[in-house]
Structure 1
């Protein structure tokens, strides 16, 4: 049998035992699927071909982006992963859901979608606010693990133009980003619905409704006479398949994120639907950045759809930009080969070294989906915390993507606004030490780096190290200027930068002038064998961090 016909026959059968090996070993690209067409160009859907990728300068110069991780799971205002954990009997979100909405056999996540109207959403105002805060790119959630598309999708009937808000949310965000001169990106998470929503098929083990299945088992036939008549819940929940191993263990999914360790392998139909939805998203809204919440690429290694999407993104983007690839794809937990193919994203964490290739950390003021409890306890990150993260990440060749949680109605609260305004004030005075910079010979000095924790899985070392102080300094360079930013203000007004000592191998020339951004005039300094000793002004220019412009003699 011809190899192409053999692969087609095997793919239709798609037994879990062979599929990863076929994809990984042969770098196969099956027959073009019915649906979205892919762009031709220099990139092919193989890791080897994608390795020719070069991170565009716009991303390297931008340094700071804002993200609206906003969808129907924000409607309850009860935190991240609501659509999964509301189906876990005894879980905090389950108890909240039963009290607020009713039992998940009667009021499931599909019904939460119906409650969501986004009535206060003003994308132009929000994106303009973020642009004034110093963001150079804006990313909008296109779908989450809940499988609900937030755009005009012809491949997923469960989408925001037909249900819930009945608005093209991605379209609105894209229009606002263009108006305010920001690069536009989308985040795509729906590859994991297959296993992520398995709890929707459970039933209570105790209580008056013990044994009554939750709504994850429902089909279109169950919708007769209901608000969702004509919509198949399985197109949303994707649960017509065998359960993953240890599915009743709520934590097992974290070990199965890359489709190993007993995860139920998605069907070819599911994979191709994801492919078509994503390619349509990229073609309709033309983002320059797509963030995948996946190990490497979506559905890898059980399917090659992620490779095909990446090749299409790069090829189509280059055609739009006159042959110059301006695209960025973010992926997580990348090996060395994969980091050549896209931009590595670290979730809620930082690298502890200057990375040879540009990367990004993503983090959030609170929880990824809006959680009213964080507001009530005044638990958001401070502007100081965000700025320190930005300075540290940029010194190591990275960018910061910051999510400001959006309420179910589409607004952000006044505590979040105050944090963003604090960031804006610092960026207006100190932005030159961030934008367009490149790493120096070392990223920094000071006691915090000696106890910096390592990465765990996707990242998750944020906030685990020693707090930054005046002796913690981070370096970047631009043209002939060196920027040294102190992450605290010394009580005695004297700052010593050891890396700039006379005769230092890092800075062999003599320092000629030092200025403190946001403060007038030059500073008095001495360059000794111990370091560059600065005498600071009596008045601090801000309360967050202190960037020094250092020029050679």
Structure 2
């Protein structure tokens, strides 16, 4: 096979199983090809240039997105980080894996990939459900820390077209999102596979297989007469390197997330491969949004590949759309970096009205599907989701909600009930959410006073007091002010102190107050606030309501 034939074969999507023998030999050619494909334009691959970024209006209007954080780690239905923790001797995932698949010296995560078939997956049906729930954008997971690409990847033979479901997962999600008029995004987490999979280099410390290396040490030649013959486990596990300091502690990865504190730093080949894969993903599927599960950008600060990806993505968006329509999400951004992309807070929310648009990502249960959460009925309920959404939107943010997907491609009955109820609340009340902008202040009431600060990338969503009938949030649109009440007044009238007479926040007169989904209401404006007489028959979903003030 000649170089040009290999590149042509990759570009038209020939399954990598036919090409895997040649991939290593032509790795430098493929790297060169991706570098040449980087689009030139106003954005350069440095932070100063990326500060030109302006959040597109579609994202500012959208407010609510739904995410399928779905890949082979959902197949066991044992929760988060299965591909790492299944190599942690004695853990619940390890014990499950030994019983279900066998000992990780022979049957490792690659066997989970082979077991994942996604046999009941119907992306059209799910995306339609999410649209009916009010989602304006949908995000599919392109790759997780497990280093498996859920698309027709030209630079990672371990992908969902070649094995497992043998389906283009991202292609299917993209088609469904387009059909239903939702903006489409992808999430990319694979930059951390280098450290994430270090547990796969271990061996048991006791028992009959004490000292026998786990399958992260296997090579291509070990696959003879196996189902994975022709594939190199090193391409999946990325473990041909020295272990990071303290790697025997499974939790050590958290303090080494930015390649500090003794972490072994990824080599150039690894970084170049990540660049190639991500550029290929962008060019194939043209997403409106890319969520990076990284501090700032992937592999920053040890490599500039994240900066190259960002500049290419922005320049490509301008070239295709005539203006910048792309969104990048990154975590733990400093003040300057927040000018370059959209800051994402994981399972948390800001305690203030932010000057730049931002996003909270959270999930109904665990990030990867965990059947015990369903069995114990421990998902977030619709009330919690709606309260978080209102608070986030009032502070200039969006909410990206993960609805965990089972290995077979379906969601369970509890999740369906929550998503359906969210849509039911949105029908009369979405006017106060979608297309709005923050008001002069985000809200009033006692709940905010107990809001704790962010921890690392977030993790403060459950802190503080529950919202009460004294808590209000504000949004505005087209000269209309929306007052979002966070609990129904069972006795007495609603009093919004920020709208009192003589208050500089709202000097304009108020002529009408309506309950969305209801009718006009009686009100009086005094020095104590805007006092509104709510109807005696409260709405069915009264844990939050919206007053339209004109």
TM-score clears 0.5 = yes
1:35 counterpart (28, 33, 43): 33
Does residue 257 (structure 1) correspond to residue 257 (structure 2)? The answer is yes
**How far, CA to CA, are the matches of 1:234 and 1:297 in structure 2?**
24
User: Which position in structure 2 is the counterpart of 1:501?
Assistant: 500
User: Which position in structure 1 is the counterpart of 2:95?
Assistant: 95
User: Which position in structure 1 is the counterpart of 2:8?
Assistant: none
Instruction: Report Cα offsets for 1:383-435 as digits up to 9, x if no partner.
Output: 11101110000000000000100000000111101000000011111111001
**How far, CA to CA, are the matches of 1:527 and 1:496 in structure 2?**
9
SS of structure 1 residue aligned to 2:438: strand
TM-superposed CA distance for 1:100, in Å, is 2.0
Does residue 533 (structure 1) correspond to residue 494 (structure 2)? The answer is no
TM-superposed CA distance for 1:91, in Å, is 1.3
Does residue 439 (structure 1) correspond to residue 438 (structure 2)? The answer is yes
User: Which position in structure 2 is the counterpart of 1:23?
Assistant: none
**How far, CA to CA, are the matches of 1:241 and 1:215 in structure 2?**
14
**How far, CA to CA, are the matches of 1:62 and 1:355 in structure 2?**
17
Question: Quick check: 1:143–1:149 contact (8 Å CA) kept in 2?
Answer: yes
SS of structure 1 residue aligned to 2:373: helix
> Which consecutive aligned stretches of 4+ in structure 1 deviate over 4 angstroms post-superposition?
none
User: Which position in structure 2 is the counterpart of 1:182?
Assistant: 182
User: Which position in structure 2 is the counterpart of 1:363?
Assistant: 362
TM-superposed CA distance for 1:99, in Å, is 2.1
**How far, CA to CA, are the matches of 1:45 and 1:349 in structure 2?**
30
Q: How does 1:323-472 map to 2 (within 5 A)?
A: 324-472=323-471
User: Which position in structure 1 is the counterpart of 2:295?
Assistant: 295
TM-superposed CA distance for 1:243, in Å, is 0.8
**How far, CA to CA, are the matches of 1:122 and 1:355 in structure 2?**
38
TM-superposed CA distance for 1:212, in Å, is 1.1
User: Which position in structure 2 is the counterpart of 1:74?
Assistant: 74
SS of structure 1 residue aligned to 2:33: coil
SS of structure 1 residue aligned to 2:66: strand
User: Which position in structure 2 is the counterpart of 1:522?
Assistant: 520
Question: Quick check: 2:101–2:111 contact (8 Å CA) kept in 1?
Answer: no
User: Which position in structure 1 is the counterpart of 2:204?
Assistant: 204
**How far, CA to CA, are the matches of 1:389 and 1:259 in structure 2?**
33
Instruction: Report Cα offsets for 1:64-118 as digits up to 9, x if no partner.
Output: 0010000000000010100000111111211221222221112100000000000
RMSD of aligned residue pairs (Cα, Å): 1.1
User: Which position in structure 2 is the counterpart of 1:20?
Assistant: none
Question: Quick check: 1:430–1:517 contact (8 Å CA) kept in 2?
Answer: yes
User: Which position in structure 1 is the counterpart of 2:146?
Assistant: 146
User: Which position in structure 1 is the counterpart of 2:489?
Assistant: 490
TM-superposed CA distance for 1:250, in Å, is 1.4
Q: With structure 2 as the length reference, what TM-score do the two structures score? A: 0.93
User: Which position in structure 1 is the counterpart of 2:478?
Assistant: 479
SS of structure 1 residue aligned to 2:250: coil
Does residue 246 (structure 1) correspond to residue 246 (structure 2)? The answer is yes
TM-superposed CA distance for 1:544, in Å, is 2.8
**How far, CA to CA, are the matches of 2:143 and 2:528 in structure 1?**
54
**How far, CA to CA, are the matches of 2:219 and 2:463 in structure 1?**
45
**How far, CA to CA, are the matches of 1:500 and 1:253 in structure 2?**
49
**How far, CA to CA, are the matches of 1:298 and 1:438 in structure 2?**
30
TM-superposed CA distance for 1:493, in Å, is 4.1
SS of structure 2 residue aligned to 1:34: helix
TM-superposed CA distance for 1:32, in Å, is 11
SS of structure 2 residue aligned to 1:512: coil
SS of structure 2 residue aligned to 1:66: strand
SS of structure 2 residue aligned to 1:316: helix
SS of structure 1 residue aligned to 2:343: strand
Gaps of at least 5 residues in structure 1 are: 1-30
SS of structure 1 residue aligned to 2:167: coil
Question: Quick check: 1:493–1:537 contact (8 Å CA) kept in 2?
Answer: no
User: Which position in structure 1 is the counterpart of 2:4?
Assistant: none
User: Which position in structure 2 is the counterpart of 1:119?
Assistant: 119
SS of structure 1 residue aligned to 2:175: helix
Q: With structure 1 as the length reference, what TM-score do the two structures score? A: 0.93
- Aligned residue pairs total 519
**How far, CA to CA, are the matches of 2:114 and 2:238 in structure 1?**
18
When structure 1 is superposed on structure 2, of 109-118 and 498-507 the one drifting more is: 498-507
SS of structure 2 residue aligned to 1:35: helix
SS of structure 2 residue aligned to 1:200: helix
**How far, CA to CA, are the matches of 2:367 and 2:543 in structure 1?**
24
**How far, CA to CA, are the matches of 2:489 and 2:363 in structure 1?**
29
Question: Quick check: 1:426–1:544 contact (8 Å CA) kept in 2?
Answer: no
User: Which position in structure 2 is the counterpart of 1:285?
Assistant: 285
User: Which position in structure 2 is the counterpart of 1:24?
Assistant: none
**How far, CA to CA, are the matches of 1:510 and 1:66 in structure 2?**
39
**How far, CA to CA, are the matches of 1:73 and 1:314 in structure 2?**
31
**How far, CA to CA, are the matches of 1:34 and 1:153 in structure 2?**
17
SS of structure 2 residue aligned to 1:251: helix
User: Which position in structure 2 is the counterpart of 1:550?
Assistant: 549
TM-superposed CA distance for 1:477, in Å, is 0.7
TM-superposed CA distance for 1:334, in Å, is 0.2
SS of structure 2 residue aligned to 1:61: helix
When structure 1 is superposed on structure 2, of 490-499 and 273-282 the one drifting more is: 490-499
